[in-house]
Every structure is written in structure tokens, then in C-alpha cells.
């Protein structure tokens, strides 16, 4: 027989459950009659489970279905978060936040409006199908992006199935979208050519020179630092996340002319020590006076704000205009205007990440060992380096082949001359 007792103003219940263990639970009420009814309900459930009238697993699932969906999401992240890489965990959080939040539009749009999910009962296969259609039709995402969102939701729901919080993973009946169509393939980037890189650096320096700093001399969040961002993104092969997380604690500069290193944790969670090239060292030293005191540099980000895609496109258009005006004759200016300078020429698109592709491509053309290139690009699998970052254009491929043939023929001639001289 159970009993009630008070702690402060709240009544607590004590009874023996179906396993014979004594249980204490708060009734969350100050009314004794209400607390007595809750105690009787819990005791009746324990008796029904002993008699085999109620399945305890189904009872626990019903309790989980009544809880907010955010509790299950945080429990999954606490349980499996250690086993998932940091970048994958951040991507899962982003996709699950979109799936559980409000999405869609008004009546007549591609996908009807869906309210935020409150409990697990709202996470239905139909909601998942609508979410994937919304990502593709309304947001303009590719089928591959929608499938990555499906993978995140499926992993979470499978954990709920494994921990017996739901009876069955409802996402098993949802099929992935077709990724083989050309319009839905992964976006392909191309690398910047040396001419395009030089033009982008010039535009960045021009934007930095036109910016009017505040009189106090401190670093401000609206300071562009375009040229430095472009150069660091290229020479260090940094991702946007690396540029955003780069602080002055990571940069170790020696005496002027001696270079330095950048020591930081990259995307794969590994600490990397990258040398600062000679062309990048004076650029970093120019940014040092932006901080008033050396102590203020501790933990301060080198780039308070990373350049946006709209700003990058504006710089690319400005650079293309300069490139056209640089033609000496009208025919040359017409040819440059029709050219593919800083444009998508069918080979790929240009964005901030293309600086990283350019660095990988240019290093690969210098016959750098593939393992060194993999470490420089911070890839866990060397196949990623060779497939996506070691680009070969038609002109560069011909130059490499011709240079290799000339070097081979010259080596054969030298060997023949040396043999003739020895004889």
C-alpha cells in the first residue's frame, strides 16, 4: 500500500512497482486529493503489469511520446555526440533543427506550412517527405542536400528505436531522392587561375584602402580585411570555418623575414602546424597594429567578419571590369568581355572555397607528394584530395605532358653523351 508525504508544499508518492522496487515520485501538486488519485493510478498500473495486462515497454513508450521532442534530441546528442565527428554533429544539429522547426509555406505553395514538432508523434514519414520536397522545391537545395538531411533524421530516429523510445523507426519507409540527375549533383567548383588570383588580391587591397577606420585605432567588426582573407584562404588552403576560428594565439611569427607557423585544430579534429609562406608574412604583420595592446590579442579573431558570398561576387565583378578595361585595343577588350574570366564557364563555379581548390591544384602541379598534399588540405582520405582538389585543365595538362616529354628526352641525351664520353 502506497503512501503520501510532503516536502515543502508539494506532495510526494511512495509505492512498490511491478519489479518489487520501492519508487518515490513527485505528484507536482499541493492538493492532497489530486495527489491521492495519482498514487492510485500508479499503483493500478503496477498491478496490471504484474498481472500481464499491460506491457511495461509499451507503457514506457507512451511516456516518451508525451515528453517534448527537444528532450529526446538532447538525450541523443549526449549519448552519441562523442562518437560523431564535430563537423558531422554540427551538420546534424542544423538539419534536425530545420526538420523539427516550422517549414513550408501558405496554401498554394510547393509544400504546405508545417508547424514545429512538439512530440515524437509529430515526426511522421509524411513530415519527412514534405521536408525533403521543401528543401528542393522551395529552398533550391540539391537532392544530395535533402538526402543528407534525411540521413541525420534517420540516425536520430534509429537511436530512438534502439533505446525503445519508439516502437519502430518511422523513417524506414521513406526513400531517398535521386541524385543521378545533372541538376541535382553536387556543386562543382573550379580553381582560380593565377591571373584571377592576382586580380582578386588587387581588388581586396583596393577595398581595404577605401575603408575609413574609426579614430581610436582598434579593430572593428566592420573592417573588411579582404586582401588578407583572400591570401590566407589561398596560401594556407583554409576553409571558411578555419578563417572564422583563426585567432592570434594560433599564429607564431618570428623575426621579420624568418616566417612563422600557424598551429590550430582543423576540421578533422587534428592539430596541424602549417608554415607561413614568405608572401603571407608581411600581410599578417600589417594586421598586428590593429590591436592596441598585446594582451588584447589573446583569443581575438584575426578576421572579425568573414567575407560573404555577395561581397565576393562584387569583388569578382569589379575585377572583371578592370580586366576588360586593361585591353589595349577595342578587339582585345571585346575578346575579354566575351571571355570566361571570373565566370562559370561550365567547368565549375567560383566562391571563397575555390581559393582552397586553387591551392590544392597549384601544389599538385608542382609534383608535390600526394601524402604531403593530403596533410596540407587536411583530408582524412587521400581519395578526396585526388578527386576534388587536384584539378587538371586542358591547357595545364598539355603543358605538363610536354614538359615531361622534354625532360625525358633531355635525360636520354645526357645519358647517351655520358656513355659516349666514357667510351
228 or 86, higher pLDDT: 228
**Distance (Å) of CA 419 to CA 219, 409, 411, 423:** 67, 15, 12, 6
User: At which of 128, 150, 184 does a domain end?
Assistant: 184
**Distance (Å) of CA 6 to CA 13, 35, 36, 38, 39:** 9, 10, 12, 15, 14
- Least confidently predicted of 254-268, 280-294, 361-375: 280-294
Split at pLDDT 50, 70, 90, the class of 348 is low
Whether residue 20 is found in the same domain as residue 112: no
CA 190 to mean position of chain CA atoms: 19
pLDDT in tens, 237-261: 998 889 988 988 888 888 888 888 9
Q: What is the mean pLDDT of residues 178-198?
A: 72
What pLDDT is attached to residue 11?
Answer: 92
pLDDT in tens, 40-88: 888 887 887 777 776 666 666 677 778 898 988 888 888 877 677 776 8
pLDDT in tens, 90-142: 888 889 999 999 988 755 556 788 889 998 888 899 999 999 988 887 776 78
Domain that holds residue 83: 69-184
Q: What's the chain's average pLDDT?
A: 79
Residue 300 placed within a domain: yes
Whether residue 270 is found in the same domain as residue 251: yes
- Kindly report the CA angle at 226 between 225 and 232, in degrees rounded to 5? 90
Residue 78 placed within a domain: yes
Q: How far apart are CA 126 and CA 128, in angstroms?
A: 5
- The CATH code of the domain that includes 171 is 1.10.150
Instruction: Check pLDDT > 80 for residue 171.
Output: yes
Q: What is the mean pLDDT of residues 332-353?
A: 64
Q: How far apart are CA 45 and CA 2, in angstroms?
A: 13
378 or 400, higher pLDDT: 378
Return the C-alpha cell found at 37.
488519485
Whether residue 80 is found in the same domain as residue 133: yes
Looking only at the bridges linking them, the beta strands covering 22-26 and 10-16 are: antiparallel
Amino acid at each position: 500500500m502506497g503512501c503520501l508525504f510532503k516536502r515543502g508544499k508539494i506532495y510526494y508518492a511512495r509505492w512498490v512497482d511491478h519489479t518489487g522496487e520501492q519508487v518515490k515520485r513527485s505528484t507536482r501538486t499541493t492538493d492532497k486529493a489530486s495527489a491521492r488519485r495519482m498514487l492510485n493510478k500508479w499503483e493500478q498500473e503496477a498491478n496490471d503489469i504484474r498481472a500481464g495486462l499491460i506491457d511495461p515497454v509499451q507503457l514506457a513508450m507512451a511516456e516518451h511520446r508525451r515528453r517534448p521532442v527537444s528532450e529526446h534530441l538532447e538525450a541523443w546528442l549526449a549519448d552519441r555526440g562523442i562518437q560523431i565527428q564535430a563537423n558531422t554533429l554540427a551538420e546534424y544539429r542544423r538539419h534536425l533543427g530545420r526538420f523539427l522547426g516550422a517549414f513550408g509555406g501558405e496554401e498554394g505553395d510547393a509544400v504546405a506550412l508545417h508547424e514545429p514538432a512538439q512530440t515524437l508523434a509529430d515526426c511522421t514519414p509524411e513530415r519527412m517527405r514534405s521536408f525533403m520536397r521543401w528543401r528542393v522545391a522551395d529552398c533550391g537545395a540539391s537532392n544530395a542536400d535533402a538526402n543528407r538531411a534525411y540521413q541525420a533524421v534517420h540516425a536520430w530516429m534509429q537511436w530512438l528505436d534502439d533505446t525503445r523510445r519508439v516502437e519502430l523507426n518511422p523513417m524506414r519507409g521513406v526513400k531517398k531522392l535521386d541524385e543521378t540527375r545533372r541538376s541535382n549533383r553536387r556543386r562543382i567548383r573550379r580553381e582560380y587561375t593565377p591571373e584571377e588570383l592576382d586580380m582578386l588580391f588587387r581588388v581586396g587591397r583596393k577595398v581595404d584602402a577605401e575603408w575609413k577606420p574609426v579614430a581610436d585605432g582598434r579593430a572593428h567588426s566592420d573592417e573588411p580585411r579582404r586582401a588578407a582573407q583572400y591570401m590566407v584562404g589561398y596560401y594556407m588552403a583554409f576553409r571558411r570555418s578555419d578563417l572564422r576560428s583563426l585567432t592570434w594565439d594560433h599564429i607564431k611569427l618570428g623575426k621579420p623575414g624568418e616566417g612563422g607557423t600557424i598551429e590550430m585544430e582543423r576540421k578533422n579534429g587534428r592539430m596541424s602546424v602549417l608554415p607561413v609562406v614568405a608572401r603571407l608574412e608581411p600581410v599578417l604583420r600589417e594586421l598586428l597594429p590593429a590591436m592596441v595592446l598585446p594582451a588584447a590579442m589573446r583569443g581575438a579573431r584575426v578576421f572579425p567578419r568573414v567575407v560573404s558570398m555577395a561581397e565576393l561576387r562584387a569583388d569578382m565583378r569589379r575585377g572583371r571590369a578592370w580586366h576588360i578595361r586593361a585591353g589595349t585595343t577595342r578587339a582585345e577588350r571585346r575578346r575579354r568581355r566575351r571571355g570566361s574570366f571570373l565566370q562559370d564557364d561550365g567547368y565549375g563555379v567560383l566562391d571563397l572555397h575555390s581559393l582552397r581548390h586553387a591551392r590544392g591544384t597549384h601544389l599538385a602541379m608542382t609534383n608535390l607528394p600526394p601524402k604531403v598534399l593530403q596533410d596540407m588540405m587536411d583530408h582524412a582520405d587521400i581519395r578526396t584530395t585526388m578527386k576534388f582538389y587536384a584539378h587538371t585543365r586542358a591547357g595545364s595538362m598539355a603543358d605538363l605532358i610536354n614538359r615531361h616529354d622534354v625532360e625525358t628526352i633531355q635525360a636520354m641525351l645526357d645519358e647517351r653523351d655520358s656513355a659516349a664520353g666514357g667510351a
